[in-house]
Amino acid sequence: MTQGPLDGIFAEASRQLTICNACRYCEGYCAVFPALERLSEVTQGDVTHLADLCHDCRDCYTACMYAPPHEFAVNVPAALSAVRRHSYDEYLPRFPWAARPVSRRAAMLAAGLAAVSVLALLSVLAGGTRTGVPGSPYRVIAYPALLAAVGLPALWSVLVMAGSAARYWRATGGRGLASPGALLSALRQAAGLRNLRGGGADCSYPTDEPSAARRRLHGLVTWGLVACACSTVAAAVSQDIAGDPPPYPVASAPVLLGVIGGAGMVLGCGGLLLLRRAAGHAAAASGAPREDAALARRGYALLAGLLLLAATGLLTLVLRDTAAFGPLLAIHLAVVVACFAIAPYTKFMHVIYRFLALVHDSAESAGGGPGKRA
């Protein structure tokens, strides 16, 4: 566990959490406060863990009598978001050959280059192998080339994410990965976005008024992504096990899951982008500090990336019988390659860290969650 003095953002978060622990009014909103109360002293690793348990619903901020302009100046969601931003950089893996982790900028550049290469490659091949039936991706790109173009960055990402997760888990003293109960509880909380329910009060987002919009839209994105992943698996099963090559009919699992998932992601990401904008306006109007500015930019970037991914995929599927199919598929593949390559360097990592934090919390609270107590 990361020990040592708490300074900077950790000292500020810890100062605020000490006030919270003496007050406890927010105990019913989410998992953060019961988790805080179980700690006998707060280390840097603990603050990191609490930061990822926080889903930035802002209920504790709107309920806080110590929020600025009170002299105690408590704004827990803002303080924890600064810690989250820090941890997204801090826990990137260190490779044996490099003194420092790959910088975010280098990763973005590499991903951009990869995407451009895929586009260039496809335009040189200009029509691919032409062996498939109309609407088949293999008319545009050969199966092994497709597998390599998408698989290599995906593999890279999985390795970096695993390294990040391992470092994060050590730093926060995580436990519970071997406990089916903790895993199940974490999955249940993640699937229903329980920590965005505010103990029944919904979120104070995008304004200070209660709203379920964020949880619902986030649910669309989560489940849209799951449907898209299932669509890919269904296609692989059809092709490699059932021996039935693409394209698949409209009433097939790959197409239906892809369309539903893609549409969910487009709606969800679009809605969340609008909510983010409204939250920004509300923050500017009230003058109260909100989410860490750099983290907010990464939030926009993640939503924009996922929106582009889903929209190009959806268009490729819907327009597969038209002349636009080739160029659209090329663009979609370039986006896929870029997204896969940079995922561990983006806010996508919140999926990993939040889930790990939920597992750890579930283990600590012995299967309970917010609102339950030992």
Taking the least distance from each CB to other proteins, the nearer of 90 and 208 is 208
- CA distance linking residue 261 with residue 271, whole number of Å: 15
Taking the least distance from each CB to other proteins, the nearer of 290 and 347 is 290
- Least distance in angstroms from the C-beta of 290 to other proteins: 15
Taking the least distance from each CB to other proteins, the nearer of 270 and 371 is 371
Which tokens is 299 given? 């939030």
Taking the least distance from each CB to other proteins, the nearer of 212 and 351 is 212
For 67, phi then psi, to 5°, come to -65, 155
Which tokens is 17 given? 């959490």
- Least distance in angstroms from the C-beta of 308 to other proteins: 38
Contact at 8 Å (CB) between 53 and 361? yes
- Least distance in angstroms from the C-beta of 12 to other proteins: 15
Spatial neighbors of 161 by CB under 8 A, at least 6 apart, are 343, 344, 349, 352
Sign of the torsion angle spanned by Cα atoms 339, 342, 346, 350? positive
Taking every pair of Cα atoms in the chain, the longest distance, rounded to a whole number of angstroms, is 71
- Least distance in angstroms from the C-beta of 59 to other proteins: 7
- Least distance in angstroms from the C-beta of 351 to other proteins: 28
Q: Which residues of 74-108 are buried (b: 16+ CB within 10 A; e: fewer)?
A: bbbbbbbbbbbbbbbebbbbeeeeeeebbebeebb
Q: How far is CA 343 from the centre of its chain?
A: 9
- Least distance in angstroms from the C-beta of 64 to other proteins: 6
For 29, phi then psi, to 5°, come to -80, -45
Taking the least distance from each CB to other proteins, the nearer of 63 and 283 is 63
Taking the least distance from each CB to other proteins, the nearer of 61 and 91 is 61
- Least distance in angstroms from the C-beta of 175 to other proteins: 21
- Least distance in angstroms from the C-beta of 63 to other proteins: 4
Spatial neighbors of 264 by CB under 8 A, at least 6 apart, are 220, 221, 223, 224, 227
Q: Which of 263, 265, 341, 345 is nearest to 301 (CA)?
A: 345
For 198, phi then psi, to 5°, come to 60, 35
Q: Exposed, middle or buried by CB within 10 Å (0-12, 13-18, 19+), for 373?
A: exposed
Taking the least distance from each CB to other proteins, the nearer of 25 and 95 is 25
- Least distance in angstroms from the C-beta of 30 to other proteins: 11
Interface with other proteins by CB under 8 A: which residues?
A: 18-19, 21-29, 34, 37, 40, 59-60, 62-67, 69-72, 199-201, 208-209, 371, 373
- Least distance in angstroms from the C-beta of 70 to other proteins: 7
- CA distance linking residue 258 with residue 318, whole number of Å: 10
Taking the least distance from each CB to other proteins, the nearer of 56 and 59 is 59
Which tokens is 151 given? 């698989």
Taking the least distance from each CB to other proteins, the nearer of 58 and 320 is 58
Taking the least distance from each CB to other proteins, the nearer of 4 and 69 is 69
